[in-house]
Amino acid sequence: MDQLAALRALRKVVELGSFTAAAEALGLSHTAISRQIAQLESKLGAQLLNRTTRRFALTEAGKQYYEACKQILDALDEADRAVGDHQARPAGTLRINAPMAFGTLELAEWLPDFLAHYPELQMDLVCNDRIVDLIEDGFDVALRLTRELPDSTLIAKRLATSEVLVVASPAYLARHGTPQTPQDLLAHNCMTYTQVLRPQDWTFIDADGVAQTIAVRGTLQANTGIALRTAALQGLGIATTASFIVHEDLKAGRLVKLLPAYGLKPRELYALYPHNRHLSPKVRAFVDYAAAIYRERRWDTQ
């Protein structure tokens, strides 16, 4: 027996005052309605309706059960409406994971405007440079800046490309000279980013597509590009860094882009989120908003 269907049948019979009217309202036959209520009475071991050939009346047990039945069905209907409303607009808490530098320098710039568009959203932003498990750690979306994504069941939406640049301060270059080729870096203090597989190996590609890898050395390594940027600004040495971190410094002349004839493989910005049949409005809103933000180049260095 489908007890929920039987509860709905009982309610309709009582409210409409007729088995026939209840059957029409529910799109069932008179016989089906009668059978559902009879099965309900059998399950409960109590008679709910006193029936005659022309009318019926609730028994004392039936009155109590009918009142409880109404509360149950009303609560279920309210729950259905709540879920429907929740699915119709972005609401609740959105948990985002992002790299430390990107979350600090980029997301902090446009998240206030995003939240102003969706006042029923609350944001939980966690910034770190370790790879998190979205499902296990309870994140809705992760942003990744990477040269290569590992195989995953997650959906990956590419949002933008960030160049990787070799930079130094004018003061450092005045003291130590400006490298003209990747090989010249061997004579310089090169600061390395440790969140890559081989931090000391910098691979350059020239205009002909020929790659060469230089094993650099230096006095500072760090797991965040912000620390390397700050050290470079203070003249400690040469660093490789993403363009989103230093584009303003380059335009202002606080840092200088080195080896312009050689390129480093860029990093791609992705939004990653679980593959759900029904994508929640809060995730869709965030990913769509981020895609609109990065549709145009934000990190020009000229």
Q: What is the pTM of this model?
A: 0.67
The percent of the chain in helix, strand and coil, each rounded to the nearest 5, is 45, 25, 35
CB within 8 Å of 93: residues ≥ 6 apart: 121, 122, 123, 124
Q: How far lies 160's CA from each of 209, 241, 254, 262, 289, in Å?
A: 23, 16, 25, 21, 13
Token output for 81: 């409406």
Other CB atoms within 10 Å distance of the CB of residue 174: 10
With contact defined as beta carbons under 8 Å apart, do 270 and 144 qualify?
yes
Mean pLDDT by 10 residues, the chain (302 residues): 86 85 88 88 87 78 87 82 66 92 93 94 90 85 88 86 95 97 97 90 92 96 93 97 94 96 92 80 93 88 69
3-class SS of residue 192: strand
Lay out the sheet containing 190-193: strands in order across.
221-222, 190-193, 238-242, 164-168, 256-257
What domains does the chain contain, in order, with CATH numbers?
3-88 (1.10.10.10), 92-160+270-293 (3.40.190.10), 164-257 (3.40.190.10)
With contact defined as beta carbons under 8 Å apart, do 191 and 231 qualify?
yes
- pLDDT for residue 158: 94
- pLDDT for residue 3: 87
Token output for 285: 């809103």
- pLDDT for residue 245: 95
- pLDDT for residue 233: 98
CB within 8 Å of 239: residues ≥ 6 apart: 166, 167, 168, 190, 191, 192, 193, 228, 229, 231, 232
